[in-house]
Amino acid sequence: MEKEIFLVEGAGFCFGVKRAIDIAFDVAEKHKEGLFTLGPIIHNPQVVEKLRELGVNPLEDISDRLDIKTLIIRAHGIPKGKLEELKNYGFEIIDATCPFVKRAQKIAEKLALEDYQVIIIGDKNHPEVKGILSYAGEKAVVIKNSEEIPYINKKIGIIQQTTQPLSKVKEILNGIINSLSEFEEMRIFNTLCNFTSKRLEATEKVAKEVDMMIVIGGKNSANTNQLANLCRKIGVKTFHIEDAEEINSDWFRGVKKIGITAGASTPNWIISKIVDKIKCL
């Protein structure tokens, strides 16, 4: 049976991830030793390994390292206090934080300084949200769904983790608005990444027209997991993989139309390798 492959438009690197990777590879080319990133620069183990081969190693803790000459801040950003601490060590710091994340940090800080209670819609355990929260003041809270809406102060400012689905944000905002009697003033800032929203929309469109979806990206990538969950919710057979080695030929028996999408941290070379392998099955 001849297979048709439909690649979702815009699959792969988003602007912020591409920028961070370009910075890391550029640093690796100019400097030959003492190169590190604070945490994985993006949530893709294959890219992290490729950088490791070039001498750029991820670190979770720098306290015992005396060989650091250049430290790259990952695309997700880091907490404000951590950044201030790093400046005291004396090595070169290169900030590869995504500009969309950086904007969310600045808005959170401004709202906190103006005495707003900052509400962040997102995953409190995600490194991006941990970073934003550090700028948002003591009254700030993180909520993941409409059931977690907290006690609300008189003045609230709302921002979002950049990779949150628009549908979820709207649902939570409706829940907050229903608490209208609890606050006097509300400011909402759109800190969502357009790349993420467009990829979700394009993936949904393809998933409704095919027999199977292959979702490519790191298993620890929030936006890739969102894509996989979206496809499963639609009801199409879905497989979330990181590279071509995970492909099982049995998946494709009786399948004619195959959709392929990828998270924001997935490089084109991994996508191409997977497409080529599927074509050969």
Locate all alpha helices (DSSP H) within 124-184, ordered by sequence. 127-133, 166-177
In the chain, the percentage of residues whose pLDDT exceeds 90 is 72
> Average pLDDT over the chain, rounded to whole?
91
Rounded mean pLDDT, 211-215: 97
Q: Which helix (H) or strand (E) element contains residue 158?
A: strand 155-160
How do the domains of the chain map onto residue ranges? Answer: 4-12+195-280, 15-98, 100-192
Residue 103, pLDDT > 80, answer: yes
CATH (residue range 4-12+195-280): 3.40.1010.20
Look up the pTM and report it: 0.88
Confirm whether 4-12+195-280 and 100-192 share one CATH topology: yes
The predicted structure's pLDDT at residue 207: 97
At 128, the pLDDT band (50, 70, 90 cuts) reads: very high
Residue 182, pLDDT > 80, answer: no
Residues with a known catalytic role: 128
Residue 213, pLDDT > 70, answer: yes
CATH (residue range 15-98): 3.40.50.11270
- Over residues 214-230, the pLDDT tens digits come to 999 999 888 999 999 99
The predicted structure's pLDDT at residue 177: 84
At 1, the pLDDT band (50, 70, 90 cuts) reads: low
CATH (residue range 100-192): 3.40.1010.20
- Over residues 254-279, the pLDDT tens digits come to 999 999 999 999 999 999 999 999 99
- What is the strand order of the sheet 117-121 is part of? 141-143, 117-121, 155-160, 185-188
Query: Can you tell me the distance from the alpha carbon of 35 to that of 53, in angstroms, rounded to the nearest whole number?
Result: 11
